[in-house]
Amino acid sequence: MSNDIFVVTECLDGKVSDISYEMVGKAKELAAASGGQAVAVMLGSDMAEQAGTFASDATIYVDDPALAHFNPEAYGKVVEALAAARSPRLTMFGSTSMGMDMAAWLSVKAERPLIAYVNSLSAEGDELVATSQVYAGKMAAECVPEGESAIVTVLAGAFSVEAGQGGMAVEQIAAPVPLDGLKTRFVEMIMPAAGDIDITAQEKLVAVGRGIGSEDNVELAEELAEALDAAVAASRPITDAGWLPKTRQVGKSGLAVKPKLYLMLGISGAPEHLEGMKDSSLIIAINTDENAPIFDVAHYGTTEDLFDVAEAMLELLE
């Protein structure tokens, strides 16, 4: 077993995801404490340039046409082979659409313990301590993996992006396992429908969540947005229900926004939503549940009824 820490990085549509840098930064800190190296691992095809953007101690870039797009079968095999050959003490994945497909699979295949939903990692002597945000963030579980080698999936936004950005020499290698005969085939990437407004470019957003209650009530949010010269955004339940187009969804599977004003109507603040808006300059949350996690993130809040507040605001603005 080596003292190295593997970070399985990700690229989406040719761009390195922030979570990759966040993990590399943390891996560097942990590796420095344990006398190992933080090793960024990137899989792709013709992506050597992106592979050279990490502040890791070493970067392995596996280049193969079969790795051009994320394919859990191909990616899993490659990561499994690399981990077997180099025996990292810890392998980090993002708690993302890509990372979640690989981490638990590798845990069973390589018989290494896994801790999921991690937002804090530290070394206590030889022990690794990871805190998992379970029960949708309602509980923090402090865990120690057994054995010499472990796997974690890391929540987006837990660590600094800047600490992982840099430029290191890249060791480019061919796939360490044959990648023919795959049962999984990537067909195409479907981009979000164009034509709607781009919520990531808006200075002011009025965001609606489950608390808005019904499709008819979305109109009130639209009126308020118009009066504030803002656009309407939404949490996942609203776009899933079809009350607003998918292009308005903020969060993990939607868009990340950073407006100057994020006014929230009836959004409790699930981790998936917070991931997409927590960096907004001014967050005001209206939610009747005083224990809603959103009040830990918002700058201002109220538990008054959202309809009463929105109507009163409309009157004052007119």
- Please give the Cα distance from 119 to 243 (Å, whole number): 32
Can you say how many angstroms the Cα of residue 160 is from the centroid of all Cα atoms in its chain?
Answer: 13
Which of 122, 168, 256, 278 contacts other proteins by CB under 8 A?
Answer: 256
Binding segment (CB under 8 A) for other proteins, from list 29-37, 81-89, 214-222, 300-308 = 300-308
Which of 88, 145, 157, 266 contacts other proteins by CB under 8 A?
Answer: 145
Q: Which residues pair with 286 in a beta bridge?
A: 265, 302
CB of residue 25 vs other proteins: minimum separation in angstroms?
19
- Please give the Cα distance from 81 to 67 (Å, whole number): 15
Which of 59, 132, 217, 235 contacts other proteins by CB under 8 A?
Answer: 132
Binding of residue 50 to other proteins (CB under 8 A): no
Binding of residue 146 to other proteins (CB under 8 A): yes
Binding of residue 255 to other proteins (CB under 8 A): yes
Binding of residue 303 to other proteins (CB under 8 A): yes
Binding of residue 261 to other proteins (CB under 8 A): yes
Q: Name residues contacting other proteins, limited to 184-203 (CB under 8 A).
A: 184-192, 203
Residue labelled with tokens 């040719």: 14
Neighbours of 235 (CB within 10 A): 29
Which of 81, 129, 161, 163 contacts other proteins by CB under 8 A?
Answer: 129
Binding of residue 147 to other proteins (CB under 8 A): yes
Q: Count of residues binding other proteins (CB under 8 A)?
A: 99
Closest CA to 130 of 89, 167, 99, 96: 89
- Please give the Cα distance from 278 to 96 (Å, whole number): 17
Binding of residue 210 to other proteins (CB under 8 A): no
Q: Name residues contacting other proteins, limited to 87-126 (CB under 8 A).
A: 96-98, 100-105, 107-109, 111, 113-117
Binding of residue 75 to other proteins (CB under 8 A): no
> 88 near 2, Cβ under 8 Å?
yes
Of the two residues 57 and 266, which places its CB atom closer to other proteins in the complex?
Answer: 266
> 153 near 57, Cβ under 8 Å?
no
Residue 178 main-chain phi, psi, to 5 deg: -65, 135
CB of residue 168 vs other proteins: minimum separation in angstroms?
25
The burial class, CB within 10 Å (0-12 / 13-18 / 19+), for 259 is: buried
> 282 near 261, Cβ under 8 Å?
yes
Binding of residue 282 to other proteins (CB under 8 A): yes
Can you say how many angstroms the Cα of residue 272 is from the centroid of all Cα atoms in its chain?
Answer: 8
CB of residue 80 vs other proteins: minimum separation in angstroms?
10
Task: Report CA-CA distances (Å) from 110 to 6, 87, 250.
Answer: 14, 10, 36
CB of residue 2 vs other proteins: minimum separation in angstroms?
20
Of the two residues 173 and 282, which places its CB atom closer to other proteins in the complex?
Answer: 282
Binding of residue 213 to other proteins (CB under 8 A): no
CA dihedral 273→277→279→285, nearest 10 degrees, is -90
CB of residue 275 vs other proteins: minimum separation in angstroms?
9
